[in-house]
Amino acid sequence: MSTYSLSDGLASGAPRTSRVALLASWIRESGVGVLASIAWIAFGLSCLWWQDVGDWSRTHSLGIAAFIIAAIALFGTVGADYLGSAGQALHKRAPWLVALGAFLTVWEVATAKFAWLPLPFFPPPQAIIEVYTDDLPKLLDSVFASIKLQLGGYVIGATIGFLTGVSIGWSRAVGYWVHPVLRFIGPLPATAWLPIAFFTFPSSWSASTFLIALATGFPVTVLTWSGVASVSNAYYDVARTLGAKPSFLVLKVAIPAALPHVFVGLFMGLGASFAVLVVAEMIGVKAGLGWYLQWAQGWAAYANMYAALIVMSLLCSGAITLLFAIRDRLLIWQKGTVKW
């Protein structure tokens, strides 16, 4: 009886269920992509539907751009099978596209259209786009100035920190002299040196480089040192019985074994040096994104501040990503032994 009714139900319902299942699977596959497209259409409409409460020149272009993104999302989703890896990349990021489109819509409506958020302090998206199109040369100059300062200070600080760390980890005599100095000066925030540095150094650029190097150097030193100090004696024993000289023990045993620690120091140093960079640029250096922020604040140009903040966060996260990539390359041997 039960068998009969089951097969009967299957037979009569089969065509309908398969169509519904097909639709369900299509929605599962492409629903988010279509939703992303809808969200960006909503953003485009929110730009063009109402009048702006203020005077912004890029509203129309922004609306058009939103429609273009919506179209790309839609066609990318529908034609995902023909787009290969690009289609897959879009599929993976579709939920973020939905969230971003929704956020921009709300932002647009809350600022440019109805001014629910107090206006000069919360500029609409088109005001920020306007900064990127109209104030680009100045912004780019600031970006390059920041990168130059940051890179110089970081490389100097990381190099000195690494060499110091290896020396005090390896040699008791060096440790005797350097360790107390490190203990005394290291924990001091590098920004505390700002006033002195800007008076004693010949230029604000050299003063800032010194401060950034200082902020980088301390964590790199300490972690390199602890890395070298924690290398197992068994490694040294093995190398010594195989005929290794002291230089080999340092370069081919101690340093490679300590490298995972060194990278922790490099990451900490990078974070610390960003803070010093911005403060130094705000106070003493007459260039860079920190200075741009300060300058924009002076003119109450809030859109410029947000624009500079976005660029700054892209730069900082880009630097971290780059350091990760270098680490992944150098420490490929760790991949199977620790969780990344």
Stretch that binds another protein, among 33-41, 150-158, 239-247, 277-285 (CB under 8 A): 239-247
CB 178 within 8 A of CB 164: yes
Considering beta carbons, is residue 40 or 170 the nearer one to another protein?
170
Smallest distance, Å, CB 250 to another protein?
12
Smallest distance, Å, CB 204 to another protein?
42
Q: Whose CA is closest to 131, among 303, 7, 283?
A: 303
Structure tokens at 220: 């790199």
Question: Within 10 Å of residue 207's Cβ, how many Cβ atoms?
Answer: 22
> Residue 279 corresponds to which amino acid?
V
Number of residues lying near another protein (CB under 8 A): 23
Which distant-in-sequence residues (6+ apart) come within 8 Å of 280 by Cβ?
149, 194, 204, 207, 208, 211, 212, 290
* Contacts with another protein, 302-331, as mask; x by CB under 8 A: -----------------------------x
Given candidates 1, 11, 173, 234, which one binds another protein under the rule CB under 8 A? 234
Q: Whose CA is closest to 135, among 317, 286, 311?
A: 311
> Torsions phi, psi of 122, nearest 5?
-120, 85
Question: Cα angle at 154 between 340 and 250, to 5 degrees?
Answer: 65
How far is it, in rounded angstroms, from Cα 139 to Cα 144? 9
Smallest distance, Å, CB 246 to another protein?
11
* Contacts with another protein, 188-227, as mask; x by CB under 8 A: ----------------------------------------
Given candidates 4, 5, 336, 340, which one binds another protein under the rule CB under 8 A? 336
Given candidates 45, 48, 239, 315, which one binds another protein under the rule CB under 8 A? 239
How far is it, in rounded angstroms, from Cα 174 to Cα 220? 17
Smallest distance, Å, CB 336 to another protein?
5
Contacts (CB under 8 A) with another protein, residues 244-263 = 244-245, 248, 252-253, 256-257, 259
How far is it, in rounded angstroms, from Cα 64 to Cα 44? 7
Q: What is the DSSP string of 12-67?
A: HHHHHHHHHHHHHHHHHHHHHHHHHHHHHHHHHHHHHHSPPSS--SSHHHHHHHHH
Stretch that binds another protein, among 140-148, 190-198, 216-224, 236-244 (CB under 8 A): 236-244
Helix (H) or strand (E) holding 226: helix 204-229
Stretch that binds another protein, among 77-85, 120-128, 171-179, 332-340 (CB under 8 A): 332-340
| Contact flag: residue 340 with another protein (CB under 8 A) | no
Considering beta carbons, is residue 148 or 240 the nearer one to another protein?
240
CA 178 → CA 159, 225, 321, distances in Å?
16, 11, 32
Stretch that binds another protein, among 64-72, 137-145, 187-195, 230-238 (CB under 8 A): 230-238
| Contact flag: residue 242 with another protein (CB under 8 A) | yes
Binding interface with another protein (CB under 8 A): 232, 234-235, 237-245, 248, 252-253, 256-257, 259, 331, 333-334, 336-337
